[in-house]
Structure formats: structure tokens, C-alpha cells
Structure 1
């Protein structure tokens, strides 16, 4: 079977997807309620778009974006500074055997969607796809 050049493997398992979604919901709730002992982080409204886990579930990468898109670098720094407390809360709430190591990345899907819309709006592209 030929390997698809866009994927490195079979993709995430159902368990990875389920645990990632549970972590995403828990992170969203914790950040929304301001359960972290950091007033700087509690002042921000954060969107947690997706959480991807490693196959062994020991690493969870959360893709986040501040509301309005302002202060992206500050947000990543604040989350990294509080990752131990967030990890403890997630481990406690989800009752996982191992609380995953948390990593935070900017969610760039909104920027990609804007670029896609811009491309589709070009006259040459509209002609090619035959309005």
C-alpha cells in the first residue's frame, strides 16, 4: 500500500481522540472559571481549539488562541508558566493513570481559513472552479 505523503501514519486512535477532547473541555472550563492561581492568566479569555495527544497519552499539545487574537505570545508564556498546576488539575479531574505533560501552541486554523477565503475570492481562482 502506498504511503500518503500528507500523513505520517494511520492517524490518532479513538482513545487519543477521546482523551484529547476530554482534556480540551477540562482546560476550557478551568481557564473560563479562573481556577488557576495566576491573576494574569485569569484576566484572559482563551479558546482551546484542539488538544492532540501522543500515542502513549503522556504528552498533550493544546492549540489555543486568546479571544480577539491579541496577546498571543503573552498567552503561551502564561500557560507555560502555569502548566504544572494545569496538569495537576487535569490529572485530578480526569482520573488518568498519568497526567500528560502539557504543551501549548497557537491555534492557526483561523488564519488558515482566512487565507483560504482570500484565495477563493480571487478572480482567477473563481474562474478555475467555475462559479
Structure 2
């Protein structure tokens, strides 16, 4: 069996996951320390939830959310304005042939979790989950 040197699975490769996590930690540290020379960006508390990379590792998309969720557009604008400085900071911690281009998007994970909680709290859904009426009150999803 001949193996292709490129990952052909449906999900990200282990290398993509490792590089994405390293970029996530580096961005989080840089933003927490305020290493970027932009007062607008430094006064924001931004969470980097996840970083995904393209298969060739040349593009990294960071999913971010400001603390409290308010001001996401302003945070994205500030990050995009400073993407070159952030890219330099990230490349110092990477041992890749190319430093990935950084892109930023709003992290909607928390919104999806809230929607899922609301869905499970719906009486019709709860009835479907426990059709025999043997629902234990302690088993309810909050």
C-alpha cells in the first residue's frame, strides 16, 4: 500500500491540529500580555477559542470573542488592523517553512451551546428524550 504524503481524511490532520493549537496559545499569550502596539486592541480582553489551519498550513483562521461577547466587530477590526504584527509574533514560536496568513472570525461556539441548552429545555424535546414519562428532575439539562 502506497501512502500519500498529504492527508486525505475528512477532518484535519494531526499536524494541522498541533499547529492550530500552537498558534492559538501564542495569540492568546500575545493578546493577554498586550505585546501589540495598538491601544484599542490592548484595552480589549479577547478569547481565542480555536485556530484552524488550511491543509498546507499557509492560512490560519482564529475564532475569537471579546470577554462578555460585546464589541465583537470592534475586536475583529482591531485584530485585522494588526494582523501583520500578530503574524510576526506567532512566527517567532513556529518552526514552519512559511508563517501562516492570519484571518479572524467571531467564535460562535457559546451561542450554539446556548441554543442547544434552550432546545433541550423545551418541553416537547424533553418529552421525546424521555417518552415513558420517567424523567428524573435531576437529569434535566440546564
- Give the structure-2-normalised TM-score: 0.85
Could you tell me which runs of 5 or more consecutive residues in structure 2 were left unpaired when the two chains were aligned. 1-8, 136-142
Structure 1 runs (4+) deviating above 6 angstroms are: none
- The residue aligned with 2:59 is 59
The answer as to 2:100 corresponding to 1:97 is no
Larger displacement relative to structure 2 (90-99 or 67-76): 90-99
Could you tell me which runs of 5 or more consecutive residues in structure 1 were left unpaired when the two chains were aligned. 1-8
Whole-Å Cα distance in 2 between the matches of residues 77 and 95 of structure 1? 28
Compute the displacement of 1:93 (Å).
2.1
- For 1:6-30, what per-residue CA distance to the aligned partner results, in whole angstroms no more than 9, with x for missing partners? xxx5110000000000000000000
- The residue aligned with 1:3 is none
Larger displacement relative to structure 2 (87-96 or 15-24): 87-96
Whole-Å Cα distance in 2 between the matches of residues 67 and 35 of structure 1? 18
Correspondence 1:72-111 to 2 at 5 A: 72-111=72-111
Whole-Å Cα distance in 2 between the matches of residues 42 and 25 of structure 1? 17
- For 1:63-108, what per-residue CA distance to the aligned partner results, in whole angstroms no more than 9, with x for missing partners? 0000001100000000000000000111122232211000000000
Whole-Å Cα distance in 1 between the matches of residues 14 and 69 of structure 2? 31
Whole-Å Cα distance in 2 between the matches of residues 18 and 96 of structure 1? 12
Whole-Å Cα distance in 1 between the matches of residues 95 and 86 of structure 2? 14
Aligned positions, number = 123
- Give the structure-1-normalised TM-score: 0.92
